[in-house]
């Protein structure tokens, strides 16, 4: 009886303490692994968001630049004043006069951080003989933000306008192209040209340090070339 009682005895205090200590060590190790996994997952998601934001801005810039100089046939005639535009000037619908900006000129300014160009979009409605949107467009990076100009009037169609965004993210006709206020964007444009075509070299860089605590993983860069077949070298105006 006495031998059986000895075999059925429980754990000693020391054994319990050792068991608890081992359990704590295993739990802490698992918790550390979980935290590391969650941090890696958040960083991966943040990198994907940054890449998508940069790709969207790049698509916007390239898509607009490729339209430079375009003028649909119906956009070259303004029936109200019987003005037939044989060249690449765009009829200003509001006043019935030809706009001062030619569609076949590209302005690269502010060291490449601002590009101004023009094109005549198709009519706003099917069968219309007028183009109801204006020809004035622009892209620029300023104050770490990407801005887009799209207007029917050349007012503020300049690269030296102050860009302090108001509630609707627009200032002086320029509107911010992205919603994330902590997304820092820089654009650099340059050009090479022949007698009959111009190539715009566009580099977009973006960073979102708030998501990465300043880590280099929070930076992305995209380079793109845009061929403008009908824009000759003489029509590219580059200023510092």
pLDDT tens-digit series, residues 220-235? 888 999 988 778 787 8
CA dihedral 171, 175, 179, 180 (to 10 degrees): -70
Task: Give percent of the chain above pLDDT 90.
Answer: 16
pLDDT tens-digit series, residues 35-50? 888 777 777 787 888 8
Q: Is residue 105 part of a domain?
A: yes
pLDDT tens-digit series, residues 97-122? 344 446 678 899 999 999 998 887 66
What would the two tokens of residue 40 be? 């890696």
Instruction: Supply the pLDDT for residue 80.
Output: 39
Within 10 angstroms of residue 22's Cβ, the number of other Cβ atoms is 10
User: What DSSP character marks residue 129?
Assistant: S
Q: Is residue 143 part of a domain?
A: yes
Q: Is residue 20 part of a domain?
A: no
Q: Is residue 122 part of a domain?
A: yes
Domain count, the chain: 1
Q: Is residue 177 part of a domain?
A: yes
**Element containing residue 237 per DSSP (H, E):** strand 236-238
Containing structural domain, residue 52: 27-238
Q: Is residue 22 part of a domain?
A: no
Q: Using an 8 Å Cβ cutoff, are 163 and 143 in contact? A: yes
Task: Give percent of the chain above pLDDT 70.
Answer: 70
């Amino acid at each position: 009886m006495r031998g059986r009682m000895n075999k059925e005895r429980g754990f000693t205090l020391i054994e319990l303490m050792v068991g608890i200590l081992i359990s704590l060590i295993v739990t802490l190790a698992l918790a550390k692994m979980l935290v590391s996994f969650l941090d890696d997952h958040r960083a991966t998601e943040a990198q994907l968001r940054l890449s998508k934001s940069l790709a969207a801005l790049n698509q916007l810039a390239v898509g607009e630049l490729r339209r430079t100089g375009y003028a649909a046939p119906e956009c070259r005639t303004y029936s109200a004043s019987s003005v037939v535009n044989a060249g690449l000037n765009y009829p200003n619908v509001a006043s019935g006069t030809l706009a001062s900006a030619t569609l076949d000129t590209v302005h690269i300014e502010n060291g490449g951080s601002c590009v101004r160009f023009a094109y005549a979009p198709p009519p706003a409605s099917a069968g219309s003989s007028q183009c109801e949107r204006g020809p004035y467009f622009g892209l620029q990076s300023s104050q770490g933000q990407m801005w887009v100009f799209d207007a029917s009037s050349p007012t503020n169609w300049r690269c030296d306008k102050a860009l302090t965004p108001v509630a609707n993210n627009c200032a002086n006709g320029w509107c911010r192209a992205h919603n994330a206020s902590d997304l820092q964007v820089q654009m650099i444009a340059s050009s090479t040209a022949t007698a009959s075509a111009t190539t715009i070299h566009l580099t977009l860089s973006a960073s979102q340090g708030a998501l990465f605590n300043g880590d280099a993983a929070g930076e992305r860069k995209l380079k793109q070339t845009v061929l403008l077949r009908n824009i000759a070298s003489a029509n590219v105006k580059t200023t510092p």
